[in-house]
Structure 1
Amino acid sequence: MLGLFRTHRAGRLLTTLSCAFAAASVPLFPWGDAFASAGNGPADKAVAAPLPGGLGPCVPGTCPPGPYPPVTNDPVRFRDNAINIFAGGDFRVRGSAAEAEGRVVVLGDFDQDKAAGASAIYNIGEAGVGSKVAPDVGTDWLTTGGDVTIATGERLLAEAGVVRHAGTASGTILAQRVVKDPDAAAPYAGLRGQLNAASQCYAHGEAGTRTATGTAKHGGGETLFTGDGTSALQVFNVDFDLASASGGQEGIRFANIPDGATVLVNVLGTRRVLNTYSGGIDDATDPLNQLRESLLWNFPDATDVEIKGTGQFQGSVLIGQNSSDTTVSVPGINGRFFTTGSITHTSSASGGGGQEFHNYPFVGDLPECGSTPTVTGTVEVAKKDAADGKALSGAVFELWRETNGVSGVQTSGANPDTQVDAPCTTDAQGKCRAAVPLGTYYWVETKAPKGYDLPSPATFGPLVVTEANARQGVKVTAKNQKKPAPEKLGALHVVKKDRTSGRPLAGAVFELWRETNGTAGLQTAGANPDTRQGQGCATDGHGHCDFRDLRLGTYYLKETAVPDGYRLPSPAVTGPYRLTEDNATKGVTVRLSNVRDDTDKKGRRR
């Protein structure tokens, strides 16, 4: 039965979309009427709930008759006019990234500025290595709603296709045609909202987080997804990074997945990292590859996503937050890549190039979604130095939603407001972001960055997310003052010796006085004396006496008692001794001596 399920899915032709997103005003198939799945089968088999907007399966061209070819450098044999990569924001090419196979649609700007020493070329549409299923010759291979900017000395290759752009085009673009069209992205503008709603629906449904059918266990150097063995839709919810405890690579493995099932992995959380070595070039020997065309990785809430490692990442990706930034540096993405935010295609900081998006369809059956999905927006706090505006990492914030009807935020008591998610620590850009439903929110700073004072008050808001501002989100800046530099302190070290022999003298007692009255010399009495510092100090067996933790300034020593058999000096006051920035660390050493007293108690010479 499961085998029959696979055969049915592989051979169908999409003729209708019963998912509610199909009611959108955006043309589902702006490139034409023909729409086929992975094969050219009978036209009477309908999909219950595919991705919105007609995204996912192959659009003829000449679609492969079954699963797409494995990653290869063979000549192009098949043609697929579906969108393989969609970005609701910008698409940036950095590092040593090499190519994006298939059709690419970007509502914002396309910006290519690769690293010095990297290959100057980035391929769009047809790739040197990939599934080798390319768009039709002469069709739009890259479409942008903004500018196309290619850095000096670099080249964008879409040689047999069209680059259609709404903004300006600069730099070297090698294409059959480069067309300026103010309405270039208009047919696809509605996809952003549809994908945002779909991503929320797949993960959260209409009654909270969607019920998982399987388990995701993180540990032992891998994340193991274990299905229930029967459901046609296998749902997994992941609320952790797919990376080792130290942030390194780990494996991804699926078990107990029935033949032909759709696999939906909801990766929850506002920041997520996938760092894996799993997935390979050889489809025959890598079991993860077998799930490729029916595996969807869904990030409904993430505003920061990083997909890295050394694996050929398998499956399609959906990122549903408009304010999201996704960085891709794995060697290959093997599946559709749809984000309502921005993409940076780059290479690993540790070296190695040739990163590629490969053109593979998604033909799975997904959950049905209501016609009025929850609208979400983003709330962001930017932490900065109050003096110079520099971004500050390491500040910890809690996000609270107004729920108790009392003005302002209440974080304790009998009826507090509601805390949203776990505390967030500002990143290298000094930012914390969260995807939230419409409502009123407050950021509460609970820990300042190192070296800074916690502001007072430490609450920032209200931030009101409405339908009108949900797309761009709501932002607030929180500034911190640096802690005052600690007052520098110094020390005064007394060394007492016999004036004749140089022998250390124990038992000499000193008072320390700080110059405070502005009159030269030491005044210990009267209406305005100088200030005595602490208790007296007696020299030890080494003749040493130390006064520590002294503020910078001017001091006097007053000797009040001498060792037995020695004469009190006259005058008994020495100084001034000055502690400064330059000598405070080492301190000031005062060397004093006493002479023996050669008279007896009656004043007679001994």
Structure 2
Amino acid sequence: MRMSAAAVLGGSLVLGLAAPVAHATPTAPAVCTDVFGVAGGYGEFVLGDDVHAPDAEGAVAVGGNADFGRGFSVGNELTESEVAALPGRAALVVRGDLVSGSAVTAVMKGDAVVGGEVKGRAVELHAGTFRKKADLIDFDGEFAKLRAYSAALAEEPATEGTTVTTEGSKLTLTGSDTTRNVFSVTAGRLEAAKEIYLKVPAGATTVVNVSGTDYDMAKAGTTGFLLSGGGSYVLDDKLQSAADGAVRARLLWNFPEARTVTKSSKAAWPGSVLAPRAHLELGTAAPVNGSVWVASLHGSGGAETHHFPFSGCLPETGVTPPAPKVPSGAPGTTPPAADTPPSTPAETTPAAAPSAGTPSHSAAPDSPAPEASSTPVAGGDLASTGSDGMVPLAIGAAAVLAGGTGLVLAARRRANRS
């Protein structure tokens, strides 16, 4: 067995050195990271109070008090696997009091967990249990992470080739990157549009970074969001969307500075909304077709949150930001002390260089692999170009082969002695 192992070792090392000569370096696949953690499982994830009626199709987590006194339904569109992935299988989490009054608060799938008092009718459970617990979710810690990530994501530069154009009251965002398109737009420019058009390749992640402390979609009375995954534009609604929903599923609106975000009741809003410092006013009609992560929330009538979870691939920044992206102490990028998330090993330990063969999402543009020979060789003919790079490789391969042979001979001698 020792002889076989030595022989395989020698041969495999020679092949490992020779392989790069014959094959080009493969393109690293896109890396998807669950940057939202616990919050990502909830269609409404609210730090403070949530006053809402009549419906949230996904799971709901409220760090303050929940006023569902006009009737509320939670979690009807959740799958069993989505329920199982929630903390404690809880589709409804309220850290404070739950006010139901004489109305019904119904949890269609999963459990209900309330830390304070239930004021009014008991929670109606269709496929779960009720329990009292105030610390199932660390809302303060989770929102510290969300604020840090939102700020870092806002520092991402607009993707090369993306355009933002205004024609009258029409705003059009266009991107062609098949992996990720990042746009930057001011709140004033966005809220001035009656119609917002977005065109990106189907399946690509889209991030719209919106700067400004207040965004009021109702100011211009935005009437619709029209999406395209490469074909015709489709007015987004629950029952119709571009590329069978592939565009809105990977669409994120990021409001790192906003303190208020107001949705027009005239338009369904496709994609998920990350506004971790803002009060979200949903209005009285038309839904958000995605998840919302906000400081507080109010909505009624048709202003529901529809269960279209975010499934995009986002940059690995934010809570554990690379030093060049969010330098310590840089204005506008480092959250206040109270917003800083707890330290993690990744925050305190410098990131190690990726090992050979491990895809690195940022390694390709930042540190391209060196070519065999970047200096032109005299004469420049095919036989000589790049030959200098081949000599050390050939010598190295021969050395490893000799080493492997030596191991085989040594193993044979030991076998003969025994």
* TM-score, normalised relative to structure 2: 0.60
Contact 1:269 1:302 (8 Å CA) reproduced: yes
Q: CA offset at residue 192 of structure 1? A: 0.8
Contact 1:53 1:194 (8 Å CA) reproduced: no
Of residues 311, 325, 340, the one that matches 2:279 is 325
Distance 1:103 1:239 in 2: 31
Which segments of 5 or more consecutive residues in structure 1 lack a partner in the other structure? 1-44, 57-81, 115-120, 347-352, 377-400, 402-435, 439-464, 472-606
Provide Cα deviations, 1:493-512, integer angstroms capped at 9, x if missing partner: xxxxxxxxxxxxxxxxxxxx
More strand by share: 1
Which position in structure 2 is the counterpart of 1:254? 198
Which segments of 5 or more consecutive residues in structure 2 lack a partner in the other structure? 1-28, 226-235, 342-418
Gap change, CA 1:157 and 1:375, over 3 Å in 2: farther
Contact 1:109 1:146 (8 Å CA) reproduced: yes
Provide Cα deviations, 1:357-390, integer angstroms capped at 9, x if missing partner: 11112111112216255799xxxxxxxxxxxxxx
1:266 aligns with 2:214: no
Which position in structure 2 is the counterpart of 1:283? 240
- Please identify the structure whose Cα radius of gyration is greater: 1
Provide Cα deviations, 1:472-508, integer angstroms capped at 9, x if missing partner: xxxxxxxxxxxxxxxxxxxxxxxxxxxxxxxxxxxxx
Distance 1:211 1:46 in 2: 18
Which position in structure 1 is the counterpart of 2:229? none
1:202 aligns with 2:161: no
Tell me, what secondary structure is at the counterpart of 1:320? Answer: strand
Contact 2:46 2:293 (8 Å CA) reproduced: yes
Contact 1:212 1:237 (8 Å CA) reproduced: no
Which position in structure 2 is the counterpart of 1:146? 96
Distance 2:239 2:274 in 1: 25
Contact 2:262 2:281 (8 Å CA) reproduced: yes
Gap change, CA 1:467 and 1:276, over 3 Å in 2: same
Which position in structure 2 is the counterpart of 1:163? 112
Query: Alignment length, in residue pairs?
Result: 284
Tell me, what secondary structure is at the counterpart of 1:308? Answer: coil
Gap change, CA 1:201 and 1:231, over 3 Å in 2: farther
Gap change, CA 1:466 and 1:158, over 3 Å in 2: closer
Which position in structure 1 is the counterpart of 2:58? 102
Which position in structure 2 is the counterpart of 1:367? 315
Which position in structure 2 is the counterpart of 1:565? none
1:49 aligns with 2:8: no
Q: CA offset at residue 303 of structure 1? A: 0.5
Of residues 149, 168, 171, the one that matches 1:220 is 168
Provide Cα deviations, 1:75-95, integer angstroms capped at 9, x if missing partner: xxxxxxx322211222112xx
Distance 2:78 2:339 in 1: 42
Contact 2:272 2:292 (8 Å CA) reproduced: yes
1:192 aligns with 2:146: no
Of residues 253, 278, 287, the one that matches 1:297 is 253
Distance 2:141 2:194 in 1: 37
Identity %: 27
Gap change, CA 1:290 and 1:159, over 3 Å in 2: closer
* AA in 1 matched with 2:303: Q
Contact 1:317 1:338 (8 Å CA) reproduced: yes
Gap change, CA 1:133 and 1:310, over 3 Å in 2: farther
Provide Cα deviations, 1:23-76, integer angstroms capped at 9, x if missing partner: xxxxxxxxxxxxxxxxxxxxxx984434232654xxxxxxxxxxxxxxxxxxxx
Q: CA offset at residue 306 of structure 1? A: 0.6
Q: CA offset at residue 212 of structure 1? A: 4.3
Distance 1:91 1:304 in 2: 14
Gap change, CA 1:113 and 1:217, over 3 Å in 2: farther
Of residues 178, 183, 195, the one that matches 2:130 is 178
* AA in 2 matched with 1:252: I
- Of structures 1 and 2, the one with the larger relative CO (CA 8 A, separation 6+) is 2
Which position in structure 1 is the counterpart of 2:363? none
Which position in structure 2 is the counterpart of 1:237? 184
Tell me, what secondary structure is at the counterpart of 2:305? Answer: strand
* AA in 2 matched with 1:327: E
* AA in 2 matched with 1:149: V
Q: CA offset at residue 437 of structure 1? A: 6.4
